[in-house]
Chains A and B, each alone.
Chain A
Amino acid sequence: MVSFETVEHLRRPADLLKRCRKLLVAGGLLIASTPNRGAETASLDWNNYREHEYTVAELGLLLAEAGFGQVALYGQRLTALGEFRREVRAELNLLRFNPFFRAGQRLQRLVRGRTKPLPVLPERIGDFETVPFENAQECDALGASGPSVLIALSRS
């Protein structure tokens, strides 16, 4: 069973996880992900869609409460190249505030017949990597430089 980026939207996420555990066959696998509250990219302050964001320890507790005994933890983060591309993208996006740049973009759209501007240096699948963590402390200790997304593989 797979459920990505779901539990942070729920007021009672344990209900969902318990249901998942009940539905899984014996030895079945639940792969769930949620944003890492400890990471630099945590967004609960401005993201109204989310009820709660979890640290690794909190996610582990939530899964344990739902009855999942064996949990393997992974983190999704940007590769070094992905980080570089993100920084360049941020700088390029600043150009959008320049009126001459905006006028040029509009002209290009008229000439090429596009109605929407193309994204600047869009993320690629290769910009990301998934790394395993031995335990919650190892991941939480990374603080803001930790993975942006936590992925838990839990056995029923």
Chain B
Amino acid sequence: MGAGTRQLGIAAAAAGQWGRSPRFHARGPAADRVDVTVSPGAAFERIEPDTASWAAYFSNHIHRYMFAAEKLKEVGARHVLDAACGVGYGACYLADAAAVTSWARTGMRARCRSPQTASRIELLRGSRTTAIRWRRASRLAHSTRW
């Protein structure tokens, strides 16, 4: 693999595989990896808390998550995988509809606004990917503050 090439193990984070080991969740078997080639030096376009882009685009992004939560409720989804979730801010909104697994290549912030919810998340780390399972998702609190 050349520069700028990454392998992602999204299968590891897929909802429904809750009983496997954290290592499996974080990395996934080689056969389940997806080759994803990104431009060298341009790996992320991501909004992060306490930045100008966060202030500018947070509502834009959250509106989509609220729409998704509505649709997931309609179909009666039980588990949701948020693939390429950025820093993971969408989980609280999706949690309205189902239990959520958030997945990102790296740099996810395992925070969900309040000390109560912080104790309910499990951070799963791998060499290149990070996944978070949001447990007891129905009790996650909504907030736009990080």
- Count of A residues near B, CB < 8 Å? 39
Given contacts A48-B39, A49-B45, contact A19 B81 (CB under 8 A): no
Which residues of B in the span 1-41 have a Cβ within 8 Å of any Cβ on A? 8, 10-11, 14-16, 32, 34-39
Binds A, one of B66-74, B107-115, B119-127, B132-140: B66-74
Is B61 among interface residues, defined by CB-CB distance under 8 A? yes
Determine the distance from Cα of A130 to Cα of B52 in the docked complex, in whole angstroms.
Answer: 25
Determine the distance from Cα of A153 to Cα of B62 in the docked complex, in whole angstroms.
Answer: 17
Q: Identify A9's interface contact among B10, B38, B65, CB under 8 A.
A: B38
Q: Identify A4's interface contact among B15, B59, B61, CB under 8 A.
A: B61
For A1, A5, A47, A124, the residue with the greatest tally of chain B CB atoms inside 10 Å of its CB is: A1
Pairwise interchain contact A2-B94, C-beta atoms closer than 8 A: yes
Pairwise interchain contact B71-A119, C-beta atoms closer than 8 A: no
Determine the distance from Cα of A2 to Cα of B10 in the docked complex, in whole angstroms.
Answer: 12
Pairwise interchain contact B83-A123, C-beta atoms closer than 8 A: no
Pairwise interchain contact A2-B45, C-beta atoms closer than 8 A: no
Pairwise interchain contact B75-A128, C-beta atoms closer than 8 A: no
Determine the distance from Cα of A76 to Cα of B72 in the docked complex, in whole angstroms.
Answer: 17
CB neighbours (8 Å) of B58 from chain A are 123
CB neighbours (8 Å) of A113 from chain B are none
Determine the distance from Cα of A147 to Cα of B8 in the docked complex, in whole angstroms.
Answer: 30
Given contacts A2-B90, A3-B82, contact A125 B34 (CB under 8 A): no
Residue of A nearest to B41 (CB): A48
Q: Identify B84's interface contact among A6, A25, A149, CB under 8 A.
A: A6
Q: Identify B71's interface contact among A15, A28, A29, CB under 8 A.
A: A29
CB neighbours (8 Å) of B67 from chain A are 74, 76, 130, 151
Tell me the minimal C-beta distance from A79 to chain B in angstroms: 11
Q: Identify B59's interface contact among A3, A9, A12, A123, CB under 8 A.
A: A123
Is A50 among interface residues, defined by CB-CB distance under 8 A? yes
Given contacts A4-B90, A33-B64, A47-B45, contact A123 B57 (CB under 8 A): yes
Determine the distance from Cα of A84 to Cα of B81 in the docked complex, in whole angstroms.
Answer: 35
Pairwise interchain contact B39-A125, C-beta atoms closer than 8 A: no
Q: Identify B10's interface contact among A10, A23, A74, A149, CB under 8 A.
A: A23
Is B92 among interface residues, defined by CB-CB distance under 8 A? no
Is A16 among interface residues, defined by CB-CB distance under 8 A? yes
Pairwise interchain contact B80-A1, C-beta atoms closer than 8 A: yes
5 smallest CB-CB distances across A and B, nearest first, come from: A49-B45, A119-B55, A128-B63, A11-B37, A3-B83
Interface residues of A (CB under 8 A from B): 1-6, 9-12, 15-16, 19-20, 23, 25, 28-29, 31, 33, 47-51, 74, 76, 118-119, 122-125, 127-128, 130, 149, 151, 153
